[in-house]
Amino acid sequence: MSDDGLELAEPLTEEQVVDFLTANPEFFSKRDDLLSKLTIPHQRGDTISLVERQVSVLRERNQDMRSKLNELLSVARDNDRLFERVRRLVLSVMEAETLDDVIDAVDDSLSHDFRIDYVAQMLVSDTFANTSRVPCHTKTGINSGTGISDLLSGNRVVCGRLRERELKFLFPNHWKLVKSTAVVPLHLKRPLGILAVGSRNEEDFRAGTGTVYLSFIGEVVSRALEALATKKTNDNLPSMRDYPQ
């Protein structure tokens, strides 16, 4: 016999009670006398009412949601700052008129705006004449023992720890200090060079690091280099006045 005077075939299970209360969330709103008899053990061994427990649960959920919201806002602010740095770099590269201008714009942005520890740029001298700003190597020279031929010919950014000979080639003066790297192949129709960044922190450019912005920077720089290379080739072509009349 139940308290309501009803015969029950068998005791209710906890699952049935949960299902009933879930389907009837206002069940206790008209049963103040029953609600006042309910107690829920507190973590410290005390007891609190169901309403107090509900308030506690809602407060915890609210704090969790606030925490997630703050995390999203923090990520959004970081992305805004990163986008602004990339925007300035892209505009500087677009405004560059010479090969040295492009090299300087990239180095200045990555070193100062992005505060990257080490920046290395290397060009393929089959495409560009030797420049005093960065080393130029022939494709034949690169393929013979430098260890970076795969990095040069690849179409994706490679992050992580490079092998010793690769570090020595890209960062000859600081290779022992570089703990993680990101290598961006500069390639458009043909190999143009390599842009590499290095950090003293192993976690900065670990394998699996997002490379969307680095890939975008590489594409922008590659197009600027290709445009300069094409312009130089056209400037060197003989014109009609170079031929005897």
pLDDT by residue, tens only, the chain of 245 residues = 444 444 545 778 888 888 888 888 777 767 766 655 565 555 554 555 666 777 777 878 888 888 899 999 988 998 899 999 999 999 999 999 988 899 999 999 999 999 999 999 988 876 676 665 777 777 666 665 556 777 776 678 889 888 888 898 889 899 999 999 999 999 888 888 889 999 999 989 987 777 889 999 999 999 999 988 887 666 654 444 454 44
Residue 203 maps to a domain: yes
Q: What pLDDT shows up at residue 4? A: 46
Sequence-ordered alpha helix ranges (H) in the chain: 14-23, 32-35, 50-95, 99-108, 139-143, 149-153, 164-170, 212-236
Give the domain extent around 200.
Answer: 98-228
Task: Tell me the C-alpha distance between 159 and 43, whole Å.
Answer: 47
Q: Quick one: which of 132, 131, 135, 110 has its CA closest to 122? A: 135
Q: What pLDDT shows up at residue 228? A: 86
Residue 212 maps to a domain: yes
Q: What pLDDT shows up at residue 229? A: 82
Q: Quick one: which of 146, 143, 139 has its CA closest to 124? A: 139
Task: Tell me the C-alpha distance between 171 and 120, whole Å.
Answer: 7
CA R_g for the chain: 33
Residue 38 maps to a domain: yes
Q: How many domains does the chain have?
A: 2
Residue 237 maps to a domain: no
Q: What pLDDT shows up at residue 27? A: 77
